Structure 1
Amino acid sequence: MDERIAALASEIASADSVVALTGAGVSTASGVPSFRGDGGIWERFDQRDFHFRRFQADPAGFWTDRIDLREAFYGDREIEPNAAHEALVALERAGHLDAILTQNVDGLHQAAGSESVVELHGTNREVECVDCGHREPADPIFERARDGELPPTCPDCSGDLKPAVVLFGESMPDEPTIRAHELAGRSDVFLAIGSSLTVQPAAGLPSRAQRSGATLAVINLEETSVSSRADYDHRADVTEVLPAVVEALE
């Protein structure tokens, strides 16, 4: 067994609080494309089309483009959790993981069985009314939009519905942001997994944890902004490292 894996597993086993931050690299193994980087979604779409101001000015046009984005994101594939998601579930069920803070909006952590998930950027699984806050599952609403209801409207107040994700130009929701900083600040081990750590506020969470004395472990294929000062820096596939950590804990 890799000595670094064994050492990290030992730190996790002795910690009172372990928190994981996950990014796009956790979902790409399930076939979910990343937004940034080579082959990312933003090479195929104009980010300005998904700005909150665009939604406010032209909700029908926004929804037309959002349908195209969703089809590029998922296509006809059945997206399923992968070994990294399953390893995080195993850590949680064994009492070794307090929470997952995720930048992902695909809901794969919950689909795998994780129960304590803080979604920093919202979720693709739901839509919300911009007027009254009503939320409901996204799939039927996208079907209504495909059938010509542009924009789809709220059943409670007739306000416009939008995907329940944080759009460009929107403020980050207070509750998950505050919760994420609290969890990072009291963690003993902080795992930054599959994230390039370039987007705030998530990018600041590893530093928040370290300032409070946490051991920092980075698991990512490429170097991140905190790799040089991480206690553990695994430049490897998350679907290989996380299951190995779980095995070392058994």
Structure 2
Amino acid sequence: MLTAKQHELLLFIARRLEATGISPSFEEMKDALDLKSKSGVHRLISALEERGFIRRLPNRARALEVLKVPETAGADQSPASENGSAEPKSDTVVPFKKSTATQPTAANDIVEVPLHGRIAAGAPIEAIEDFNSLPVPAALLGPGEHYALEVSGDSMIEAGIFDGDYALIRRTESARDGEIVVALVDDEEATLKYLRRDGARVRLDPANEMYEPQIYNSSQVKVQGKLAGLLRRYH
């Protein structure tokens, strides 16, 4: 069963795909559903995906495919009765016919990547949280699930990572020594550093001689992802 907003979003995506062959952008979905932020769109998309109504196509522009749509015109919650209660209504689902419109080529694809706030390239800062999304050229991403972080600080400048850059991170809980990772320390603070292991210890190395390595017990550090690419804003 779908909520009213899930149903509304599913139909909006399906109609756009039927008309153009390209699903709407997250900004268009936010505006169509009168949501305050794109994070609400992310939650709705995830719910529809979990219920088997849509699937995401990795590294494709507007990367959504509708698999089925409810046959009923309304949401699966009927209007409230006189006593204020709402009677659930089952939806009959039917396969969704894909449009034959031509999809854009992979070289021009743009992927909406979740933007999880700022991360320190310096001393660790508070753990990152979800709040927005970032359009990213698909050519910058490889396989897997990705998210983006805005870099704060200069401890990784010798690796070509500068304050204000957007670090593109492939989500993973494992990494090899020498890889640049997002490390969560004590489940509270996140930082972007080179990962080094030394027995029961983990060393998080900066790429700036002005900073000292950070050394922790291995139980204190969790890998949240590793660097896949960078985006830079020029003023």
TM-score normalised by the chain length of structure 2? 0.25
**Larger RCO (CA under 8 A, 6+ residues apart):** 1
Q: Calculate the TM-score normalised by the size of structure 1.
A: 0.24
The structure with the greater share of residues assigned to strand is 2
